[in-house]
Structure 1
């Protein structure tokens, strides 16, 4: 049971749990879960949970991340020009200059998340289109991918997380899809959003995925699909492998190659906006919570 959003504070520096959740901009049950885990300090007074404003402010500070959403500074960046330049550098195999370009964009105020979503991903997508059109070889495409991977390795320090965890996630690339970079981006955004992440990458046999999930506790499995013409049973097969280990496993598909209707038909969820991923997962996880609080 929850309470009204506008219920008053107690003694000036205390909040109800609903008010704390409102300030955190999360569902009430998310805040309640953090309290149960001991991550958000709270105590019971007058039959209700109370949170000190100082504890809430400390909790917010500990959960600060740099890249959960595109930055305001990134709004003024000339992204099309930078994408054109990076695309040319990737085609030419100029890894040092490509790295310098991305580093300059970030130093000028764009976040690492901006660099992923507005620069690296579009440039690499163009490389894929070049290969599909026969303008470059597989070797050229692989070289460009390796350059982007090296740049991401240097940017990974920006995807840092402090404080309590939102949950545990497993990330991987769908079977038959050999594009490793998108799933790595998902893993970094989840880390930035407060998740502990086990990143498995591409080419994981489904039977091995089942064994892994039987051993490693997790809250959600995120599957990247970049190739649109994968086997039409891919989603069903992945979900079946996950639920062979965890009958109630939350499986989420995303990426340019995934089809939301097929994900839903397989009993999975679909997320299309990487910048909104953690908030979407919060909502999905809370909708599956079985334990209701007995007091607020």
Structure 2
């Protein structure tokens, strides 16, 4: 059976992530970004690889340290790609993007924030573990058109 190209690419990226080779991961993504849009890259490569990292961790096939390293590498790469994310086309729309208090998984919502930016929005990415009171106050101050909140495990 022949694997779809993006599936093979996500598996290759996953192997680089698990090895902890930040430079190789960065080079891989930058090379792939020449062939795909950033949005496709996020969906077809990064998201799929990170889901697999999560499954490997859940099944005790990798350590928490390896999972954290993979996440750290991806966050660094997202920051590297930011120049390609900003759209020249700007619209008069604002979004506040945050993880709620006690939520530390911010990569997915960061990619959502980037997609808003790609579409000309002004995105205010607050990141992980945003205290609810501060999120409410910030939202009142900014008066966004949209509020995007992320949580993966709610207790």
User: Scaled by the length of structure 2, what TM-score is found?
Assistant: 0.91
Q: Does 1:95 align with 2:22?
A: yes
Aligned runs of 1:55-134 on 2, under 5 Å?
A: 78-107=5-34, 109-134=35-60
1:230: which partner in 2? 154
Q: Does 1:144 align with 2:70?
A: yes
For residue 215 of structure 1, report the CA deviation from its aligned partner: 1.8
For residue 166 of structure 1, report the CA deviation from its aligned partner: 4.1
Q: 1:154 to 1:164 in 2, by over 3 A?
A: closer
For residue 176 of structure 1, report the CA deviation from its aligned partner: 3.2
For residue 201 of structure 1, report the CA deviation from its aligned partner: 0.7
1:220: which partner in 2? 146
For residue 171 of structure 1, report the CA deviation from its aligned partner: 0.2
Q: 1:111 to 1:145 in 2, by over 3 A?
A: same
Distance in 2, matches of 1:91 and 1:162, equals 35
1:68-113 CA-partner distances (Å, limit 9, x unpaired): xxxxxxxxx7111111111111111011111111112122x21111
For residue 163 of structure 1, report the CA deviation from its aligned partner: 3.8
Q: Does 1:201 align with 2:117?
A: no
2:87: which partner in 1? 161
1:187: which partner in 2? 113
Secondary structure at the counterpart of residue 33 of structure 2: helix
For residue 135 of structure 1, report the CA deviation from its aligned partner: 1.3
Distance in 2, matches of 1:110 and 1:146, equals 23
Q: Greater CA radius of gyration, 1 or 2?
A: 1
Which sections of structure 2, spanning at least 5 residues, go unmatched? none
For residue 224 of structure 1, report the CA deviation from its aligned partner: 2.2
Higher relative contact order (CA 8 A, sep 6+): 2
User: Scaled by the length of structure 1, what TM-score is found?
Assistant: 0.49
Alignment: residue pair count: 152
Distance in 2, matches of 1:128 and 1:174, equals 20
Distance in 2, matches of 1:183 and 1:143, equals 18
For residue 174 of structure 1, report the CA deviation from its aligned partner: 3.2
RMSD of aligned C-alpha atoms? 1.5
Distance in 1, matches of 2:48 and 2:38, equals 14
Structure in which a larger fraction of residues adopt helix: 2
